[in-house]
Structures are given as structure tokens and as C-alpha cells.
Amino acid sequence: MELARQAVEVGKDDPETLSTAALTLSIFARDHATATKAAQRALALNPNSVHAWLMSGWNLAFLNRPGPAIEALEHAIRLSPLDPLCYLFETALAFAYSVGHQYEAAVEWADHALQEQPRFVIPVRLKTALCAHLDRIEEAHEWLGRLLELQPGLTIAKYEASAKVWFSEEFLAWYLAGLRKAGLPED
């Protein structure tokens, strides 16, 4: 975290440095205020920085602002529709739509990400919870099986311990409820 904070200061004129540092601070330190400022600075320096738009979208979703998050992430995709990291944009969109309680759209974006990276655990885990919340219980069980192949030994307790750093309490409660409903063991 200290290196990310230093990068924001030292790299204040480099949009890629600002974007990477901001994402690190947003995800791992929940320092959304600094991440927001860094993203705004990165976009002011380069309004076409795909990574700045991606970081901004993630951060806005973490702040429970799904509308602006979706706009930022869709903008990133328009800027670089064939980007090799597009699965990250799609995963972030799935997350933002989940935050906005638009679960069908979230499933669609998770599917897009999984078409590109079928073993990327974040959309697998999210799709597991989404299917459970949509009462697609058989499908949720299938996705849970895939999730446990990728993360053997995963439990609600283990995931909660790590995820509480990233998510708001409200979203984490929703996420864990979906994983429970899908059948993820408590301990």
C-alpha cells in the first residue's frame, strides 16, 4: 500500500502509474477517496486511457455507484474493443451490474468474461452467487463445482475474511448469501 501511495505522488504525471496505483489502493486498502482522485487525474492526463477507465469503473462499483461504473467500463470497451484484457472489463461490468441489482445483465457480462477466460475465478464466483440469487439452483450448483475446482477448500469463512477488504458490507452480505444458497460450506 505504501508503494502505491508513493506511486500516486511520484507518478502524478503518468496516467498508467496513477491507474495501477489507484486500483491497488481501491481494492486492497479500500482507500476509494485517493483512488478516485488518482483516476480523475489519470483521465485528465489521458482521456483515452483504457486502464484509467477500467480502474475508475471498478472503484465506482466498490463505492456502490453502479450507473457511473457501468458508463466508465462501457467507455473502456468502446476505446479498446479487442483489448487482450477485455475479460477484466467484462468482469468489472458483471460486478457493477450486480451492485446495481441488475442480475440478468450481470450474468451476461460474466459469461462474456468466461468465454475469454474460462478459468478466471472472479466471474466464476460471481456467476455462482448470481445464479443462486436468480433461483437457478441447479446452475448455481454447477458453477459452485467449477469454483471449487479453481479454489479447493474455499468456504464462506475463508472468502469473507479476504473479501471484506474489497466490498461494502451490504454487497458482501449479498454475495455471501448467494454463495451460501449455491451450497458453499460455512467452514
Domain boundaries, the chain: 1-86
> Whole-angstrom Cα distance, residue 105 to residue 103?
5
> Whole-angstrom Cα distance, residue 133 to residue 128?
9
| Contact predicate 8/36, CB 8 Å | no
| Contact predicate 22/42, CB 8 Å | yes
- pLDDT at 167 exceeding the cut of 90: no
> Whole-angstrom Cα distance, residue 22 to residue 37?
8
pLDDT of residue 27: 86
With cut-offs at 50, 70 and 90, classify the pLDDT of residue 182.
very high
- pLDDT at 28 exceeding the cut of 90: no
> Whole-angstrom Cα distance, residue 58 to residue 154?
24
| Whether the predicted model's global pTM rises above the 0.85 cut | yes
- CB-count exposure of residue 101 (10 Å: 0-12, 13-18, 19+): exposed
| CATH code matching the domain that covers 1-86, chosen among 3.60.20.10, 3.40.1390.10, 1.25.40.10, 2.60.40.1240 | 1.25.40.10
| Contact predicate 113/90, CB 8 Å | yes
Average pLDDT, integer, range 110-133: 98
With cut-offs at 50, 70 and 90, classify the pLDDT of residue 48.
very high
